[in-house]
Chains A and B, each alone.
Chain A
Amino acid sequence: MIRIAAVGDVHLGADARGRMRPALENVGEHADVLLLAGDLTRHGTLDEAQVVAEEFADLPVPVVAVLGNHDHHDDKPVEVARLLSDSGLHVLEGDAVVFEVGGERIGVAGVKGFGGGFAGKCGSNFGEREMKAFVGHTIEIAETLRAVLASIEADVRVALTHYSPVPDTLRGEPPEIYPFLGSYLLGEAIDATGTDLAIHGHAHFGTEQGMTPGGVRVRNVAQPIIRSAYTVYHVEPMVRAAVAG
């Protein structure tokens, strides 16, 4: 059994410095790995990223993160990711990490994701340049996620995104904004690759639990949803074998 701690949308800045640290220092008692589902900062500045780095550095478990839309706002996502990586976090965008925990391997593939909407109610890669850029961005990310998930050799395979792969975990948000909260293309990539669990954030008014059309559990770990420093999932490696079999 692998213990996965996760939280998203912590939106740290100088005014929230150190708030999470007491709970984080005990994360090793609860979990084997900590996943951060994007929106680590408010505006994506390097000053805010430094606060994030100090909050999540030197923890007793590996910390794996993706960036969110807020982390892109200052147009320095590469620099933000580098600062966090230099502090020991594993920042993923189209790549994966694998850790061994008690003889079992957990692999995490991470992308920010993007919007577009869900089956039958989504944007198309057609028309104005701006519209094609919007939908094309999601298509590209989803293809990357699929390839990275498929490449992982591990006992437990996790997809980590900021945007949602399913509408289930958006319940509570206005349906009109679902196309800005996620895309079925992410869910399709997850379903195609024998993934065990999908973790995302972004939807502060959504709900925690959902499932892809292919039966993969999805969890929205936005901090306003989970109402704690992080939440914890215990994942048995045989879950995927049971679903696949």
Chain B
Amino acid sequence: MTSEPYLSAHLHRAIAEDPRTAEAGVRATVRGDHVLLSGDVACEQRRADLEAVVHEVAPDLHVVDDVRVVSVAEPEGSEELR
């Protein structure tokens, strides 16, 4: 079994380098039998792609997916720089 720090590193690289994900802004935190995914992605499909890639690298871990789809709403207000 791969030790936790190496598994974390493998997940981090897979999420950043796999063409299906290419996400440098998603964190994978391994805790025992669980891996927590957190961060933001541009659309719902990318959450599913992340889970698929993570499952391939660490099929024995239970994925807890806290990844959010980023809002594309119009801004509320503005900041005054004086």
Contact = CB atoms under 8 A, between A and B. Distances in A.
Interface of A: 3, 5, 9-13, 15-16, 19-20, 22-23, 26, 30, 42-43, 70, 73, 196-197, 204-205, 217, 222-224, 226-236, 239
Given A205-B39, A223-B70, A234-B81, A30 B75 contact: yes
Contacts, number: 84
Interface string B26-52: 010000000000011111011000000
A229 B74 CA distance: 6
A71 to B, nearest CB: 12
Nearest to B42: A16
A239 B82 contact: yes
Contacts of A22: 72
B42 A10 contact: yes
Interface residues of B, number: 25
Contacts of A236: 81-82
B80 interface: yes
Interface in B49-82: 70-82
A234 B74 contact: no
B9 interface: no
Interface of B: 19, 22, 24-25, 27, 39-43, 45-46, 70-82
Contacts of B24: 70, 204
Contacts of A233: 78-79, 81
Contact of A229 (B45, B72, B81): B72
Contact of B46 (A5, A15, A228): A15
Nearest to B70: A223
Max chain B CB contacts within 10 Å: which of A26, A42, A70, A234? A42
A232 B79 contact: yes
Given A16-B43, A223-B40, A234-B79, A205 B25 contact: yes
B81 A239 contact: yes
Given A197-B81, A233-B79, A43 B42 contact: no
B72 to A, nearest CB: 5
Contacts of A228: 71-76
Contacts of B75: 5, 30, 226, 228-232
A169 to B, nearest CB: 14
A23 B79 CA distance: 18
Nearest to B77: A232
B25 A232 contact: no
A8 B42 CA distance: 12
A134 to B, nearest CB: 17
Contacts of A222: 25
A19 B74 contact: no
Contact of B22 (A43, A196, A239): A43
A235 B39 contact: no
Nearest to A232: B78
A224 B39 contact: yes
